[in-house]
């Protein structure tokens, strides 16, 4: 253990104690100063108390002190600048010695404020689409050549300690969620094109707070990231309480995203705590198998967004027949908690839901016009009400899920594709840097399929 470990651990103390320390008792001494001389007077007045070194904290900056809430954020320059409020003589300001900066208000202007905040600025597509045209994904499970797969797609299962684990997410886990090392293992992957078996080794780690007989983190030899794997054998926990405990769900699965009437809404972390306490009352509910056709109707779904469990779209759903049905583990489970309990939980969640969660996913649908070494050009005229409004986008192949279409030669000029991305920067709105998926699609116009 090092002092840095203690320092970091203190950083994780509960918010309520940090908040209490922030608002801790202050001295009753007051110094009356005018704002015009605030900087110089404060610097002198407090230097004697805090020491000259800390007096620098109170030197006012000439350029700005106050964030102007009415600052306009332009669509082209997403720079927020703060203007200083010096158009009128400010009133006399009382300053309490020993005041923490947490108490600072815009009037006191005792601390320097950061001057600029930069955010990416995205292009808003206002063109009119031809609503008679829809696309259908043509994707079957394509088997990629070995060199077109990410390592987590090449080696997807591991056997450790008598159990078989399968990969849960192709995104890596944050290092601070990785626990102690458990051991090493050998993994195998099969290349169907070359009829060849590949091998690699890996390190097996705990995921903090989670039973390693159910979930582990795997680090592939030669790679830095940790990937979440889920135990594949059928070994259900005995009760709801056992499931919650084994997966540390009160910590790893915040009940802060609900799906209701085809929309997603948010809840606070405080709501999540209340809701978990409601579920925990039914800890003794026995784990039952998930039936193919539920006997009830879904009332509400909690979307499982959990880095530790390697998911952002699994389901913890409440049904009007009194059951929870979930696919949180490798197998679906069902728990009977009663209709009254379901109604109580649904009532709380819907009564406290906050804003709708915006979906940032966007699409470009068009024909491939050019295939470069690290880009694909796609023209979306076919989807526009006025074809002249079409744009030829350059989609950068930054993600392997795009790049492998280039490497493999599967993509052809003229093919209709749908590109998933998370926004196009305004600097050059014909270049897409954020593409994460490419799908081969088919077009239907007025319900008639059109083939390219």
Partner 1 sequence: MDDKQIVDLYWERSEKALTETAAKYGGYCYSVANSILNNRADAEESVNDTYLDAWNSMPPHRPSVLATFLGKITRRISVDKWRKSNAEKRGSGQVAVVLNELEECIPDKSNVEQTVEMQILADVINSFVKGLPDKEQQVFLCRYWYMDSVEAIAARFGFSVSKVKSMLYRTRQKLRARLIKEGLK
Q: Closest distance between partner 1 and the C-beta of residue 260, in Å?
A: 16
* Gap between the Cα atoms of 131 and 154, Å rounded: 40
Asked if 383 contacts 393 with a C-beta cutoff of 8 angstroms, the reply is: no
What is the β-pairing status of strands 431-432 and 392-396?
parallel
Q: Closest distance between partner 1 and the C-beta of residue 247, in Å?
A: 15
- Helix, strand, coil % over all residues of the chain, rounded to 5: 25, 35, 40
In whole angstroms, how far apart are CA 148 and each of 29, 170, 224, 227, 372?
69, 14, 19, 19, 16
Q: Closest distance between partner 1 and the C-beta of residue 116, in Å?
A: 7
Q: 30 in helix, strand or coil?
A: strand
Asked if 402 contacts 418 with a C-beta cutoff of 8 angstroms, the reply is: no
E strand residue ranges, 380-434: 392-396, 416-421, 431-432
* Gap between the Cα atoms of 354 and 352, Å rounded: 6
Q: Where does residue 176 rank: exposed (0-12), middle (13-18), buried (19+ CB within 10 A)?
A: exposed
Q: Closest distance between partner 1 and the C-beta of residue 265, in Å?
A: 10
119 vs 449, beta carbon nearer partner 1 = 119
Q: Closest distance between partner 1 and the C-beta of residue 103, in Å?
A: 9
13 vs 36, beta carbon nearer partner 1 = 13
47 vs 280, beta carbon nearer partner 1 = 47
Q: Closest distance between partner 1 and the C-beta of residue 263, in Å?
A: 13
* Gap between the Cα atoms of 47 and 54, Å rounded: 7
106 vs 132, beta carbon nearer partner 1 = 106
Q: Closest distance between partner 1 and the C-beta of residue 158, in Å?
A: 23
27 vs 430, beta carbon nearer partner 1 = 27
10 vs 449, beta carbon nearer partner 1 = 10
40 vs 192, beta carbon nearer partner 1 = 40
Q: Closest distance between partner 1 and the C-beta of residue 123, in Å?
A: 15
* Gap between the Cα atoms of 357 and 362, Å rounded: 15
Q: 444 in helix, strand or coil?
A: strand
Q: Give the closest residue to 431 by CA, choosing from 359, 360, 358, 372.
A: 372
45 vs 391, beta carbon nearer partner 1 = 45
């Amino acid at each position: 253990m090092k002092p840095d470990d203690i320092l970091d651990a203190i950083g994780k103390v509960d918010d309520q104690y940090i908040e209490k320390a922030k608002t801790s008792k202050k001295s009753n001494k007051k110094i009356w100063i005018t704002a015009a001389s605030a900087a110089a007077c404060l610097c002198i007045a407090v230097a004697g108390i805090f020491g000259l070194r800390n007096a620098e904290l109170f030197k006012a900056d000439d350029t700005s002190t106050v964030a102007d809430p009415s600052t306009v954020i332009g669509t082209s320059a997403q720079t927020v600048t703060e203007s200083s409020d010096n158009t009128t003589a400010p009133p006399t300001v009382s300053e309490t010695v020993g005041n923490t900066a947490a108490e600072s208000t815009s009037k006191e202007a005792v601390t320097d404020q950061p001057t600029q905040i930069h955010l990416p600025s995205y292009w808003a597509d206002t063109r009119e689409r031809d609503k008679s045209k829809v696309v259908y994904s043509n994707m079957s499970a394509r088997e990629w050549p070995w060199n077109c797969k990410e390592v987590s797609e090449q080696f997807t299962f591991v056997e450790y300690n008598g159990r078989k684990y399968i990969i849960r997410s192709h995104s890596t886990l944050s290092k601070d969620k990785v626990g102690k090392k458990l051991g090493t293992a050998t993994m195998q992957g099969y290349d169907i094109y070359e009829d060849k078996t590949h091998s690699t080794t890996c390190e097996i780690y705990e995921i903090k707070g989670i039973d390693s007989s159910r979930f582990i983190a795997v680090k592939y030899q030669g790679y830095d990231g940790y990937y979440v794997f889920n135990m594949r054998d059928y070994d259900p926990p005995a009760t709801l309480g056992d499931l919650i405990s084994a997966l540390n769900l009160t910590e790893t699965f915040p009940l802060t995203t609900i799906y209701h009437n085809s929309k997603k809404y948010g809840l606070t972390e405080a709501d999540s705590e209340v809701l978990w306490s409601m579920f925990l009352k039914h800890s003794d509910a026995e784990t039952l198998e998930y039936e193919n056709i539920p006997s009830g109707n879904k009332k509400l779904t909690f979307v499982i967004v959990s880095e530790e469990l390697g998911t952002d779209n699994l389901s913890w759903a409440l049904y009007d027949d009194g059951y929870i049905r979930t696919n949180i583990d490798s197998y679906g489970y069902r728990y009977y908690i009663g209709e009254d309990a379901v109604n109580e939980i649904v009532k709380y969640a819907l009564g406290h839901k906050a804003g709708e969660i915006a979906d940032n996913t966007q699409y470009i649908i068009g024909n491939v016009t050019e295939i470069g070494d690290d880009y694909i050009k796609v023209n979306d005229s076919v989807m526009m009400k006025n074809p002249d409004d079409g744009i030829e986008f350059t989609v950068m192949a930054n993600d392997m899920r795009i790049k492998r279409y280039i490497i493999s030669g599967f993509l052809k000029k003229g093919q209709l594709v749908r590109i998933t991305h998370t926004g196009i920067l305004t600097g050059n709105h014909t270049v897409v840097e954020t593409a994460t998926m490419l799908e081969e699609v088919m077009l239907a116009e007025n319900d008639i399929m059109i083939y390219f």
